[in-house]
């Protein structure tokens, strides 16, 4: 106690890493419970930029226990390079633990991600091509290789033989792709297992014990609500549950452990990858937001699509996550825009207006955003020290977002650094 969840409330990249890093200064444990290295979380401390993909954003604090739960899919090769890169910058990873149940991303998952995207042609999802979907497919097919297996050479060799043989058949016969030399894969992954074995521990037990001991726990969401496999814009989603509820199954803790759920959103909206985006701006305002906000993917470097703040999707997030409060990042990026628009509802082709996000793409088709317009601001707000100090138009904008989302805004981000946050 207390145990806080931080979740993405839009389509990802809301600045969850920054919020976790800030809140981790008051936490003893930080836990990742789903997703994999499709995530890219940026933490900036005194000009030093850290881009984290699998390692929890609490890692910059030397005494914070950083845990990777059973619900994560872990690419050991990428994970080791992340470990090495942190260690080379003087960041210790001794307090990092990985659950033996976590699924391992194998090389065929990465190849199959690319092959199936190619097969979809124009209907591709725009995945990060990190093998995430295929790794979760194997988990639910019950043929996945887990962290425990990786760290036990005989088990690993056996599993690579059975799963790898089938994958080779699929890759060559269905996709005309390249088969793997399974002995080579076994040798390579055995080495990864040796390196990672000291990090293996039961994250469910560690989290439970930390909670019983009264420690403060932060659960770090990856991806976001609108990328949830059920409650996102299916099929343009990821293959896990980035919702607050996903934390419990992905870590192995009961729902009553959770005391607080914080949603993170940007003061506008972005999306990387394909799929619907009602408030998207394909104009010079959208370009300006991308340029000023540096909206390029942390993982893939792809330009992010940009648009106005959509209160319909954030209200959806408030509901499906049970948000207690919201952190709104990147308000500083909107400086210099004469007018700020916020989508408050959608108008259907028959002229009726809806306030809840439709459950299907078919329901979303033809929806037009209904906007409210606010006066913008020109001041540089990145050095403000308190919310009260902000220009009146900024304060009005945030107060309006709070009212439209039906959720208290407890934090406002005015720059990428740890220090650039205003608490309300
Ligand atoms: P995450 O995936 O949710 O952790 O977010 P990313 O790190 O992928 O993307 C957020 C980007 O915005 C990063 O480059 C952050 O450094 C940056 N950022 C976060 N908060 C703010 C803010 O309040 N203002 C500005 N200008 N940048 C921010
Ligand atoms: P963070 O944690 C933004 C998107 C991809 C694609 C879809 C499916 O940094 O917010 P996947 O590789 O998961 O099968 O791709 O999901 N996506 C993200 N978009 N931020 C992320 O993570 C994302 N993780 C996946 O772009 O549209
Ligand atoms: Mg990101």
Per-residue pLDDT reduced to its tens digit, 344-381: 999 999 999 999 999 999 999 999 999 999 999 999 99
Closest CA to 110 of 194, 191, 167: 167
Q: How far is the CA of 303 from the centre of ligand 3 (A)?
A: 12
The single residue listed with the structure tokens 């790794």 is 135
CA distance 16 to 242: 12
Q: Which residues form the pocket of ligand 2, taking CB atoms under 6 Å from any ligand atom?
A: 8, 12-13, 38-41, 125-128, 130, 132-133, 222-224, 227, 238-239, 272-273, 298
Task: For residue 13, indicate whether it is catalytic.
Answer: yes
Tell me what pLDDT residue 190 has: 98
Q: Whose CA is nearest to atom 14 of ligand 1?
A: 42
At CA 234, angle to CA 229 and CA 236, rounded to 5? 100
Q: Whose CA is nearest to atom 16 of ligand 2?
A: 238
CA distance 323 to 5: 9
Could you tell me the CA-to-CA distances from 220 to 3, 23, 268, 294, 395 in Å, in that order? 11, 10, 22, 23, 28
Mutate which of 18, 30, 398 to test ligand 1's pocket (most atoms within 8 Å of Cβ)? Answer: 18
Could you tell me the CA-to-CA distances from 275 to 278, 361, 366 in Å, in that order? 10, 9, 14
What number does the ligand 2 atom closest to the CA of 132 have?
14
**Ligand 1 close to Cβ of residue 21 (< 6 A):** no
What number does the ligand 1 atom closest to the CA of 299 have?
8
Options 21, 41, 241, 310, the catalytic residue:
41
Tell me what pLDDT residue 299 has: 85
Find out whether 414 and 44 touch, Cβ atoms under 8 Å.
Answer: no
Structure tokens, 412? 């406002």
**Ligand 1 close to Cβ of residue 316 (< 6 A):** no
Burial class (CB in 10 A: 0-12, 13-18, 19+), 408: exposed
Burial class (CB in 10 A: 0-12, 13-18, 19+), 18: buried
**Ligand 1 close to Cβ of residue 382 (< 6 A):** no
pLDDT less than 50: residues of the chain? none
What number does the ligand 2 atom closest to the CA of 14 have?
10
| H or E stretch covering 48 | strand 48-52
DSSP letter at 356?
A: S
What number does the ligand 2 atom closest to the CA of 13 have?
10
CA distance 81 to 413: 30
In three-state secondary structure terms, 363 is helix
Could you tell me the CA-to-CA distances from 239 to 13, 61, 135, 320 in Å, in that order? 17, 30, 9, 17
Structure tokens, 307? 């648009």
Burial class (CB in 10 A: 0-12, 13-18, 19+), 337: middle
Mutate which of 10, 15, 380 to test ligand 1's pocket (most atoms within 8 Å of Cβ)? Answer: 15
Find out whether 243 and 225 touch, Cβ atoms under 8 Å.
Answer: yes
Q: Whose CA is nearest to atom 27 of ligand 2?
A: 273
**Cα pseudo-dihedral 166, 167, 168, 174, rounded to 10:** 100
Tell me what pLDDT residue 253 has: 98
Options 13, 75, 113, 417, the catalytic residue:
13
Our measurement of the distance from residue 371's CA atom to the centroid of its chain's CA atoms, rounded to an integer in Å, reads 27
Could you tell me the CA-to-CA distances from 65 to 52, 249, 254, 402 in Å, in that order? 16, 20, 20, 33
Phi, psi of 394 (to 5 degrees): -65, -45
Closest CA to 130 of 36, 44, 14: 36
Structure tokens, 165? 């043989």
In three-state secondary structure terms, 313 is helix
CA distance 110 to 119: 14
What number does the ligand 2 atom closest to the CA of 275 have?
27
Tell me what pLDDT residue 34 has: 98
In three-state secondary structure terms, 68 is strand
Dihedral sign computed on CA atoms, order 182, 188, 194, 197 = negative
Q: How far is the CA of 35 from the centre of ligand 2 (A)?
A: 9
CA distance 317 to 57: 22
């Amino acid at each position: 106690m207390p145990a806080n969840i931080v979740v993405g409330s839009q389509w990802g990249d809301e600045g969850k890493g920054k919020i976790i890093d800030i809140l981790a200064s008051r936490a003893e444990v930080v836990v990742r419970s789903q997703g994999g290295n499709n995530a890219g979380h940026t933490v900036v401390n005194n000009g030093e930029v850290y881009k984290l993909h699998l390692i929890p954003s609490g890692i910059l604090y030397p005494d914070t226990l950083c845990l990777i739960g059973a619900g994560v899919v872990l690419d050991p090769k990428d994970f080791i390079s992340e470990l090495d890169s942190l260690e080379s910058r003087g960041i210790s990873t001794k307090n990092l633990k990985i659950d033996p149940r976590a699924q391992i991303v194998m090389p065929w998952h990465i190849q199959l991600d690319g092959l199936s995207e190619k097969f979809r042609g124009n209907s591709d999802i725009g995945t990060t091509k990190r093998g995430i979907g295929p790794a979760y497919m194997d988990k639910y097919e019950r043929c996945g290789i887990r962290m425990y297996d990786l760290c036990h050479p005989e088990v690993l060799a056996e599993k690579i033989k059975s799963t790898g043989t089938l994958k080779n058949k699929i890759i060559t016969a269905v996709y005309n792709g390249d088969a793997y030399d399974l002995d080579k894969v076994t040798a390579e992954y055995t080495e990864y297992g040796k390196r990672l074995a000291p990090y293996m521990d039961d994250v469910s037990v560690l989290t439970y014990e930390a909670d019983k001991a009264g420690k403060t726990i932060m659960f770090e969401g990856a991806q976001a609500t609108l990328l949830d496999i059920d409650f996102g814009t299916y099929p343009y989603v990821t293959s896990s549950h980035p919702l607050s509820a996903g934390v419990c199954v992905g870590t192995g803790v009961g729902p009553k452990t959770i005391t607080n759920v914080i949603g993170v959103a940007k003061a506008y909206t972005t999306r990387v990858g394909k799929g619907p985006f009602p408030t998207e701006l394909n104009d010079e305002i959208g370009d300006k937001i991308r340029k000023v906000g540096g909206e390029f993917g942390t993982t893939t470097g792809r330009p992010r699509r940009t648009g106005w703040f959509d209160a319909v999707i954030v209200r959806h997030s408030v509901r499906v996550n049970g948000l207690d409060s919201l952190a709104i990042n990147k308000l500083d990026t909107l400086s210099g825009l004469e007018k700020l628009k916020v989508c408050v509802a959608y108008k259907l082709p028959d002229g009726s207006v809806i306030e809840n996000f439709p459950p299907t793409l078919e329901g979303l088709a033809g929806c037009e955003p209904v906007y409210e317009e606010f006066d913008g601001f020109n001041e540089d707000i990145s050095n403000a020290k308190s919310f009260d100090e902000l220009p009146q138009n900024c304060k009005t904008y945030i107060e309006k977002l709070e009212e439209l989302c039906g959720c208290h805004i407890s934090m406002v981000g005015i720059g990428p650094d740890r220090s650039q946050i205003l608490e309300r």
